[in-house]
Structure 1
Amino acid sequence: MNRRDAIKNVALLLGTAISASTLAALEGCTGSGPRNYALEAPETKSILAEIAETIIPQTNTPGAKAAKVDEFILTMMQDCYEPKDQQILLDGLKKVDEASNKQYKKSFVDLTAEEKTAVLTEIDKERVAYNKRENKQKEDPTHYFQFIKELTLLGYFTSKPGATEALRYVAVPGKFEGCVPYKKGDKAWAM
């Protein structure tokens, strides 16, 4: 199985599709993308960590912060994405802060968990509307929140805490069991 097929399988497991730009970035990822030093700024990492933690909060399993998803997203952006996509993400993070300032008169990182969820819910509605619009062109840029959500899920469920604590995990090699009983509420299997 190649990397692209593995990523598609993870996306299906998570109940989402990965955008074409993310698939292209993963396929062409060389680990030596153009450096964008704005991605390395502490405030960029801070807001990204808070957004990821809002998407996958800590419950009885570790959240996105514990899995260091923010570092994963920034590494992927630096190493695999085009400069235009990196700029889309950076501009999007500014939009998240602008939305929180407009609604709550505070920076996103200073909001309560409920306020963060409210801000991101509105942004996600905007993302869905952007992706469903009638005049959408193939060359239109990916919505910034699409990048954030996809990379948060990918980073979390391929991290050690995500794969071993949020999902059921069996170390490979192991025996093959073709038919395993499933009870409603059981965790999904890690790959």
Structure 2
Amino acid sequence: MNRRDAIARVGLILGGTVVGSQAFLSGCAKKSEVAATGSTFTPETVSFLDEVGETILPTSAASPGAKESKIGEFMKTIVSDCYEEKDQKIFMDGIGKLNEASNKKFSKDFMSLSATEKHDLLVEVDKEAKDYLASKKEEDPQHYFTLMKQLTLWGYFTSEVGSTKALRFLPVPGRYDGAYPYKKGDRAWAAT
């Protein structure tokens, strides 16, 4: 066998492997909804999560808010594709609990609240989550608002909007300077 025949056969074997694996994987449809709870992320649910994220990280003069980074879509993807079933259930149940807390405090659902009312409600729920965390045992589940807040921060600061407009962005970093002057109030640097 000469070199050309060997390369052709290796290419055929590897090509067949790639094509074969693609055909196999195409039968495995990506889940886009939460299977554990039977609940789905409707456009209304994504809008709800956008509002929660915007309340946690609102638009300011210095930077855009979480809604501009499409935080609801980010949460949908992470919860659907990465969370374990128990955490998916906590998260989806948390949406209902947040609406219940809103109805209890203001007699209207979360989406109908003013920006100030949303802020006041989330401050109260955040305090509840922190109190829960302080007394939480290792085997206890996460608090739903802790999950929402973590996803908001993660999604926003790793998005293009968050890393280029809220953080200082340097696409081609310079040399390392461990003693770089930092003034109180300066924005943090984005990791690229």
Q: TM-score range by the shorter chain?
A: 0.7 to 0.9
Matching of residue 175 in structure 1 with residue 177 in structure 2: no
Contact conserved, 1:47 with 1:109, CA < 8 A, in 2? yes
Worse-matched range after superposition: 44-53 or 150-159: 44-53
Structure 2 length-normalised TM:
0.77
Contact conserved, 1:56 with 1:63, CA < 8 A, in 2? yes
Q: CA deviation at 1:56?
A: 0.3
- 2-structure distance, mates of 1:39, 1:181: 48
Q: Could you say which residue in structure 2 is the equivalent of 1:18?
A: none
Structure 1 length-normalised TM:
0.78
Q: How many residues align?
A: 158
Q: Can you give the 5+ residue segments of structure 1 that lack an aligned partner in the other structure? A: 1-31
Q: Could you say which residue in structure 2 is the equivalent of 1:45?
A: 46
Over aligned residues, Cα RMSD in angstroms? 1.7
Q: Deviations over 1:118-170 (max 9, x none)?
A: 1111111110111111xx32111011111101110000000111001111111
Q: CA deviation at 1:34?
A: 7.7
Alignment of 1:134-145 (within 5 A): 136-145=136-145
- 2-structure distance, mates of 1:115, 1:157: 25
Q: CA deviation at 1:35?
A: 3.7
Alignment of 1:49-128 (within 5 A): 49-60=50-61, 61-128=63-130
**Segments of 4+ moved more than 4 angstroms:** none
Q: CA deviation at 1:102?
A: 1.1
Q: Could you say which residue in structure 2 is the equivalent of 1:147?
A: 147
SS for the counterpart of 1:38 is coil
Matching of residue 184 in structure 1 with residue 174 in structure 2: no
Contact conserved, 1:33 with 1:82, CA < 8 A, in 2? no
Q: Quote the sequence identity (%).
A: 49
- 2-structure distance, mates of 1:155, 1:57: 14
Q: CA deviation at 1:38?
A: 2.5
